[in-house]
């Protein structure tokens, strides 16, 4: 492969990953959360454009457990274990940022849902404790420093912010997704038609939970928030505006950190509504036409995505990943505010050479 001169982002991330130069880059790391909270959308997109190359952001927390011989559940239960896994991934793959695992059961569990946590796959919700107004009014807003596994993520973000001066990204559930776990997805969907007032009361509670948790993560050092609202994909545009978008808009306004909104599955019918939330970026899954979505977003909106995590990352070899990645990058050549990523979370058994092939291809693409 021909030698390429380092780009600005190559230099910045190399410094940000370094332990030996920590005394030099530590002041930058201390300032980044404050700076990111002050920067507007246009300025953030301008920084992305000045990076000198595309940025790679695969959602690879779970497969990174292969690097540390740990299980997914061990990482989701212990902030120090998760930190060590992420540190190994960032330094091994020379990643452009650091990240926490994605786990949308953290808020539901802290609010009273029972969950199942397999050793080597993401946990899922078993029970839905809110069926009546009385159930809702008996709930309290969990404390992110004490309740459930919220402190695990707070601790991990804090350790990452001390170790790296890279962009630290963490995430949480969107309000409608949390409401769907508390009620059950089918009942939440029906409530948009049959009992909207009760659903809106629940969504106000969910927004308070989201804000308290995400503000704790931001205080711990997270510069950006990836907000997962997968349940929003079932909503029509008008329903999304009423039962998801307006709550996310309030969250974006109050949080003081850039928010990237991710909706799993085919959210093609919601592109304009997602943009209307005020999120800095939209993260789209494999079924979405990436070029079409990019053509429809508001100015100075990041597009993130959307390599298929199953068909490509899990189902092909490293050369297949390189080929598909080059095709994706070429299709997005005309869109400056684009971040190459997987469409959704990668499987824990994703071959590590496929992740490395994706990151290297994005890094080398000009």
CATH of domain 8-364: 3.20.20.210
Residue 177 gets which letter from DSSP? H
Residue 362: C-alpha distances to residues 57, 170, 215, 291 (Å)? 9, 22, 32, 17
Determine the Cα–Cα distance for residues 51 and 365; give it in Å rounded to an integer.
13
Q: d(Cα 291, Cα 185) in Å, to the nearest integer?
A: 30
| Sequence-ordered list of residues with C-beta below 8 angstroms from that of 66, at least 6 positions apart, any chain | 348, 352
Query: 42: how many CB neighbours lie within 10 A of its CB?
Result: 9
Q: What is the pTM of this model?
A: 0.94
| Residues 102-119: b if buried by 16+ CB within 10 A, e if exposed | bbbbbbbbbbbbebebee
Domain residue ranges of the chain, discontinuous segments joined by +: 8-364
Residue 207's nearest CA partner among 277, 125, 114 is 277
How far apart CA 70 and CA 72 sit, in angstroms, is: 7
Report the b/e string of 8-30 with b at 16+ CB within 10 A: ebbebbebbbeeeeeeebeeebe
Contact 214/225 with Cβ under 8 angstroms? yes
Per-residue pLDDT of the chain (366 residues; tens, 9 = 90+): 455 678 999 888 888 898 877 666 667 677 777 777 778 888 888 888 888 999 999 888 999 999 999 999 999 999 999 999 999 999 999 999 999 999 999 999 999 999 999 999 999 999 999 999 999 999 999 999 999 999 999 999 999 999 998 889 999 999 999 999 999 999 999 999 999 999 999 999 999 999 999 999 999 999 999 999 999 999 999 999 999 999 999 999 999 899 999 999 999 999 999 999 999 999 999 999 999 999 999 989 999 989 999 999 999 999 999 999 999 999 999 999 999 999 999 999 999 999 999 999 999 998
- CA separation, residue 310 to residues 20, 178, 234, 253, 286 (Å): 38, 25, 21, 35, 9
């Amino acid at each position: 492969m021909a030698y390429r001169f380092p780009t600005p982002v190559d230099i910045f991330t190399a410094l940000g990953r370094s332990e030996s130069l920590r005394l030099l880059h530590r002041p930058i790391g201390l300032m980044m959360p404050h700076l990111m909270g002050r920067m507007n959308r246009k300025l953030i997109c301008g920084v992305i454009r000045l990076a000198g190359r595309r940025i790679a952001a695969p959602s690879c927390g779970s497969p990174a457990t292969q690097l540390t011989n740990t299980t997914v559940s061990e990482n989701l239960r212990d902030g120090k274990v998760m930190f060590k896994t992420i540190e190994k991934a960032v330094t091994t793959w020379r990643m452009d940022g650091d990240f926490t695992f994605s786990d949308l059961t953290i808020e539901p569990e802290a609010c009273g849902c029972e969950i199942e946590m397999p050793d080597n796959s993401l946990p899922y919700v078993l029970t839905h404790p809110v069926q009546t107004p009385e159930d809702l009014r008996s709930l309290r807003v969990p404390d992110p420093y004490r309740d459930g596994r919220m402190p695990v993520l707070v601790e991990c973000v804090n350790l990452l912010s001390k170790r790296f001066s890279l962009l630290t990204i963490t995430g949480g559930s969107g309000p409608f997704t949390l409401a769907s776990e508390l009620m059950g997805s089918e009942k939440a969907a029906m409530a948009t038609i049959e009992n909207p007032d009760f659903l809106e009361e629940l969504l106000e509670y969910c927004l308070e939970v989201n804000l308290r948790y995400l503000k704790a993560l931001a205080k711990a050092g997270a510069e950006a928030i990836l907000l997962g609202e997968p349940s929003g994909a079932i909503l029509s545009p008008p329903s999304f505006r009423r039962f998801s978008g307006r709550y996310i808009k309030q969250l974006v306004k109050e949080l003081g950190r850039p928010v990237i909104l991710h909706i799993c599955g085919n959210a093609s019918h919601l592109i304009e509504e997602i943009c209307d939330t005020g999120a800095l970026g939209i993260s789209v899954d494999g079924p979405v036409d990436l070029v079409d979505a990019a053509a429809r977003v508001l100015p100075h909106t990041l597009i993130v995505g959307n390599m298929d995590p199953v068909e490509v990352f899990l189902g092909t070899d490293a050369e297949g990943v390189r080929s598909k990645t080059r095709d994706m990058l070429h299709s997005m050549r005309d869109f400056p505010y684009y971040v190459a990523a997987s469409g959704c979370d990668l499987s824990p058994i994703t071959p590590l050479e496929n992740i490395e092939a994706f990151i290297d291809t994005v890094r080398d693409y000009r």
